[in-house]
Structure 1
Amino acid sequence: MRPEPLPAGPGQESVWDYPRPPRLERVGRRVQIRLGGEVIVDTDDVVRVLETSHPPVYYLPIQAFAEGALMPGEGSSYCEFKGGAAYFDVHGGDQVRPRAAWTYPRPSEGFEQLAGRVAVYPREMDRCTLDGVEVVPQPGRFYGGWITPDVVGPFKGEPGSLGW
């Protein structure tokens, strides 16, 4: 059952206004990610994916990551919209976070902009910021959305959201 969306205030977006299938858009935002006391990426070359009930997922160029920050990880998964995903273990300082980032090496039609880009699970990093604002990870272990003050839910991944 679809929950009651929270009202969006000035400058906010409701994740319930996002489409399904998802939409890609290039955004003029700065993303910085820290792990192990190091900045492993700092870029304004950002594409986000918007999908109903999910906070945005931000995809960054592989080449924007610090050397050695991304190492091939185990396993794969499949998204009905974006295609087959491969995983990276993320390294920063003395920290290693297995399968903490993913990419679509050969994205499905309509999602070609994701080729050569990586998304990171914010819950696995020390700190992720969007335009200097700290990101709150999307609830649940499966999801990689970034919650900031400019998006409102409720969000997929919260208790009771399995059937959304």
Structure 2
Amino acid sequence: MSTVDNTPSDLTDVPPELHAEVLKWRTVERLRPEHIVLAGPGQESVWDYPRPPRVEPVSATITVVFHGLTLASSQNAYRVIETSGAPVYYIPQSDINMECLEPSDRQTLCEWKGTSAYFNVNVNDHTAADAAWTYPQAWGEFAVISGYIAFHPAQMSECWVNQELARPQPGNYYGGWVTDAIVGPFKGEPGSEGW
């Protein structure tokens, strides 16, 4: 296995009390597996995605459904792509039925995007705990997704990229959306802890 480059990058927007922890995660050694699938025509390999990650607008319609209710449908989403992970889609709140989202107490720290806040998703008598998240004050280039919300596809009934039903990235931690347009292997699969 070869090593993936981990550039520390700029700490300008990072609160000083988080510098040590952020640098620790930004510089951890990541391995590149030998069994990478070659991308075919019209496909992308997650192993060609950058680290540090990149945020970019998407032209696709991104739709999220939970127990028969369309929670979100947007043509104004962004995706965040990072080496070894499936794209994560961030949707503006104006395109989300926010009445179905209830803030939870969970927070996590991303070494690139900042501190996240989570939501429980409630539709009728169905609840998905911590199934959506946002970065209220995302750092650096990720500031464009501040306040935008991502949904974990494993906890939703359906997540669509245009007319394709996306599949959850393996593992319970990562919120990537796997479609036929991307190939792996993906972080979250058994044995991928060092990727």
**TM-score tier after normalising by the smaller chain length:** over 0.9
Once superposed, what is the RMSD of the aligned Cα atoms? 1.0
The number of aligned residues is 164
Are 1:70 and 2:101 counterparts? yes
**Unmatched 5+ stretches in structure 2:** 2-31
Deviation of the 1:67 alpha carbon: 4.0
Q: What is the distance in 2 between the residues matched to 1:141 and 1:14?
A: 21
Name the structure where helix makes up a greater proportion of residues. Answer: 2
Alignment of 1:8-157 (within 5 A): 8-157=39-188
Residues 43-74 of structure 1: CA distance to partner in whole angstroms, max 9, x if unpaired? 11110001000010000012211141211012
Cα distance in 2 between the residues matched to 1:87 and 1:152: 28
- % identity of equivalent residues: 46
| TM-score where L is the length of structure 2 | 0.82
Larger proportion of strand: 1
- Contact 1:103-1:119 at 8 Å conserved across structures: yes
d(CA) in 1 for partners of 2:98, 2:37: 41
Contact map agreement 2:137 2:147 (CA 8 A) in 1: no
TM-score (norm 1): 0.97
The structure with higher relative contact order (CA 8 Å, sep 6+) is: 1
- Please tell me whether the aligned partners of residues 38 and 93 of structure 1 are also in contact (alpha carbons under 8 angstroms): no
Shift of 1:110: 1.6
1:5 is matched with which residue: 25, 36, 45?
Answer: 36
Change (3 A) 1:39 1:65: same
